[in-house]
Amino acid sequence: AQSVTQLDSQVPVFEEAPVELRCNYSSSVSVYLFWYVQYPNQGLQLLLKYLSGSTLVKGINGFEAEFNKSQTSFHLRKPSVHISDTAEYFCAVSEDDYKLSFGAGTTVTVRA
């Protein structure tokens, strides 16, 4: 069965600094990987996805993630954050085309 571990529950960061959110997964088969963002009082919005092909995936709002099969990781990065990036971020994994397993979430707080 698939599972996801987000290694940091809270990440404080200063505006214009880089940020990395770590995600590790476990699965016995090939997986599809996703990062979602949840802004306050809103639903989840897809940031980016890895289905196949290039292991470096670019998403919306300047985010990117790298799939590392040997380390079973899918870490999310942004080189320079803005106040508006303050949100909760979820890593998710799927072994098929419908069931998603989510990590516990990482709260990013961007300070001026």
Partner 1 sequence: DADVTQTPRNRITKTGKRIMLECSQTKGHDRMYWYRQDPGLGLRLIYYSFDVKDINKGEISDGYSVSRQAQAKFSLSLESAIPNQTALYFCATSDRGEKPQHFGDGTRLSIL
Beta carbons of 109 and 21 less than 8 angstroms apart: no
Among 25, 63, 74, 90, binds partner 1 (CB under 8 A): 90
Indicate the residue among 31 and 81 with the shorter CB distance to partner 1: 31
Quick check: 109 binds partner 1 (CB under 8 A)?
Answer: no
Residue with tokens 């599972």: 3
The nearer residue to partner 1, 29 or 112, going by C-beta atoms, is: 29
59's CB contacts (< 8 A; 6+ apart) are: 35, 46, 47, 48, 49, 65
Nearest distance in Å: CB 66, partner 1: 19
When binding is defined by CB under 8 A, the residue of 17, 56, 60, 104 that contacts partner 1 is 104
Give the residue among 85, 80, 92, 81 at the shortest CA–CA distance from 107: 85
Site string for partner 1, 42-81 (x = CB under 8 A): xxxxx--x-x------------------------------
Helix then strand then coil, in percent of the chain rounded to 5, is 5, 55, 40
Q: How far is CA 22 from the centre of its chain?
A: 7
Give the footprint of partner 1 on residues 17-46 (CB under 8 A): 32, 34, 36, 41-46
Which residues contact partner 1 (rule: CB under 8 A)?
Answer: 4, 6, 9, 32, 34, 36, 41-46, 49, 51, 90, 94, 97-100, 102-105
